[in-house]
Amino acid sequence: MNTVDRINNMPVGLRMAVNELFHQSGIDFENDILKHCKSAEVKEFLTIPEAAEIANVSPSTIRRMCAKNLFKWNKLNPARCGRIIIEKSSFFSFLEGPNGTEE
């Protein structure tokens, strides 16, 4: 079951509570989060700790890589400390290097 299905199958009260929590943080759950999930192709993402473990580097190194735009990433919240998610396919392409082999 993908993310959109999980959200759509949430009890109404729980979904309203999730919307309220995001709203309190200044995030419009329906427009800022779900619109990305409801696209024709649901993209898979990694968190910084997940990417760090895969690449066998520290989370700080992954943050520096994000700052250099070495792969596609996005912030879930525009605040300075907003959570970063990394597009999985872009990250793995970066790891494979320009010749298609791991660096």
Q: Are strands 84-87 and 73-75 parallel, antiparallel or unpaired?
A: antiparallel
Which structural domains are found in the chain, ordered by start? 1-40 (no CATH), 43-103 (1.10.1660)
Give me the pLDDT at residue 72, please.
Answer: 93
Query: How far lies 16's CA from each of 12, 19, 26, 32, 33, in Å?
Result: 6, 5, 15, 15, 14
pTM over the 0.85 mark: no
Report the C-alpha gap between 89 and 45 in whole angstroms. Answer: 8
What mean pLDDT is predicted for residues 87-101?
Answer: 81
Q: What is the pLDDT of residues 29-86, one digit of tens each?
A: 777 777 666 554 455 889 999 999 999 999 999 999 999 999 999 888 777 777 889 9
More confident residue, 38 or 96: 96
Is the distance from CB of 71 to CB of 65 less than 8 angstroms? yes
